[in-house]
Amino acid sequence: MELLMARRHVHSDDIRDLFSRAMSDMYRAEVPQYGMLLELVADVNTEALRADSNMRAKLERSGEIDRLSIERHGAIRLGTAQEVVDIRRVFAVMGMYPVRYYDLSMAGVPVHSTAFRPIAEEALRRNPFRVFTSLLRPDLIEDPALRTQAAAILARRRIFAPHVLDLVRVFEAEGALTQQEADEFVREALETFRWHSNATVDLATYRALQGAHRLIADIVSFKGPHINHLTPRTLDIDAVQAGMPRRGIAPKAVIEGRPRRNCPILLRQTSFKALEEPIVFRRGVDEGAAGTHTARFGEFEQRGAALTVKGRTLYDELLASARRNVQTGTADWNGPAYNAELSARFQSFPDVWAELRSRRFSFFRYSASAAGLASSCRGARAPTVDELIASGFLKFDPIVYEDFLPVSAAGIFQSNLGNGEQKNYAERSNWAQFETALGAELNDELELYAQAEIASLEQALKQLGYAQLASA
């Protein structure tokens, strides 16, 4: 019994925290500009909190302020079903689970994806580390011979060291790792995400893969799925966008997502151009030949409220209408014109928290106020939730959006591939194919937000002495 307890003293949340911090240190060493990004974000966040006491109070009430400085998301690209199964098992050791299906073929990117992240409220507060994980769609490689060649190359590689999977099996059997095992796991698993400048293909093969799509070359030509960006969270992405040039960093033309608003919703993202990094090819007549590869970049994000189906439907309609009216993704794209069009379109989206709640456009976390807890007045008639809010007994704060947007993700990818990389795949969503490759079902993010909202409301009502409302 004592031995069993000793084996279970390292929680998955702690392993995830160790791993995300180690990943950040590694990426900072590999991409020096990432360190500059962290400094810029820290400065912007400090100023935003100083200037807006209400925002600070809300972040403190929801527990988000504690996680702000450690919050990161990364992205990787995998090549085979076996790789995505192994990555699922590795992330499970860190308390991270696949949430939602993303079809990026709609934007000319030959992958489909999910995001591995924690899903429990306490786990998200501890460290909301996320990894946007894409899987190559071989069916979107048009040349049959190249498709076969890519599959053969990927079949020969193993992205994890054997000891990593040994430790995964220990976790699966025992339910936890010891501290020594956790340290070994983090150290060795990190190698999978490290940049390796030696390609596993010759120059001719690399050029053929790149001709099909730059992401195909990035996925197939290397030892493993190097982390291609690591993203800190900012409270004011417009300030970050404006601040990048002052620090010698060239940002992409526009911020992906909705325009600036009083009430932040969903997700906004921006990035700097991908690095051009030296690589060495192997085998064939070009063995030892030098070249360059462009894949890794820096990114920032600003997260807002999670939207309901109703809110998301309107959001998608407005974003799509703006993108139709101003052609995106072209060399002569007029960024200011697009921003003006986007702002005009989103005038019809409510920008007051009370209205977003009353119209059921967004998810909220409820809490009993100090006045409500202090009140001993219980009338003969139980009040409604709206009446409790109006009396100041019940507070509501937006639930932060923990996931991603396919259009924004594709926009970031495309902006770092070069202006000529414009593919026109027909949209071919294949959720079932992805789940089959994964070997597990994907979690529904809307269900997770709804459960969090309901649980918070029930808890708050019970604290106020209105359990009958909570069970209604």
What is the per-residue pLDDT across 270-322, written as a single tens digit (0 to 9) for each?
887 767 788 888 765 555 567 778 777 778 899 999 999 999 999 999 998 88
46 within some domain: yes
| pTM, two decimal places | 0.90
Is residue 55 a part of any domain in this protein?
yes
Residue 68 maps to which CATH number? 3.10.180.80
Query: How confident is the model over 191-199, as a mean pLDDT?
Result: 91
**420: confidence class by pLDDT, cuts 50, 70, 90:** very low
User: Cα(224)–Cα(237) distance, rounded to whole angstroms?
Assistant: 31
Residue 251 domain-assigned (yes or no): no
Q: Which residues of 365-392 are buried (b: 16+ CB within 10 A; e: fewer)?
A: bbbbbeebeeeeeeeeeebebeebbeee
Domain that holds residue 185: 2-227+416-441
Alpha helices by DSSP H, listed for 157-221, are: 162-174, 179-190, 203-212, 214-220
Q: Inform me whether the pLDDT recorded for 421 exceeds 70.
A: no
How confident is the prediction for the chain on average, in pLDDT?
A: 87
| DSSP H or E segment with residue 291 | strand 290-294
Contact 234, 300 (CB under 8 A): yes
Highest mean pLDDT among 95-109, 142-156, 196-210, 294-308: 142-156
| Alpha-carbon distances, residue 284 vs 201, 217, 219, 287 (angstroms) | 9, 17, 20, 5
Question: Strands 276-280, 72-78: parallel, antiparallel or unpaired by DSSP?
Answer: unpaired
Structural domain includes residue 360: no
- In DSSP terms, which residues pair with 72 in a beta bridge? 232
Q: Strands of 25-129 (E only): list them.
A: 72-78, 97-103, 111-117
pLDDT digits (tens, 9 = 90+) for 17-26: 999 999 999 9
Classify burial at 192, counting beta carbons within 10 Å of its beta carbon; exposed 0-12, middle 13-18, buried 19 or more.
Answer: buried
pLDDT band for 330, please (50, 70, 90 cuts).
very low
How high is the pLDDT of residue 270?
A: 87
Specify whether the CB–CB gap between 273 and 237 falls below 8 A.
no
β-bridge mates for residue 267, sequence order:
303
Cα separation, 116 vs 99, whole angstroms? 6
What per-residue string of b and e applies to 169-184 under the rule 16 or more CB within 10 Å gives b?
ebbeeeebbeeebbeb
Helices (H), 419-444: 431-438
Task: Decide if 245 is inside a domain.
Answer: no
What distance in Å separates the CA atoms of residue 411 and residue 442, rounded to the nearest whole number? 24
Q: Give SS3 for 297.
A: coil
Per the structure, the count of domains in the chain is: 1
Given a cut of 60, whether residue 50 has pLDDT beyond it is yes
3-class state of residue 273 by DSSP: coil
Length of the chain counted residue by residue: 472
- Has residue 331 been placed in a domain? no
Range in 56-65, 130-139, 235-244, 436-445 with the lowest mean pLDDT: 56-65
Is 398 a domain residue?
A: no
400 in a domain, yes or no? no
Share of the chain above pLDDT 90, in %: 62
pLDDT of residue 419: 46
pLDDT score at 393: 94
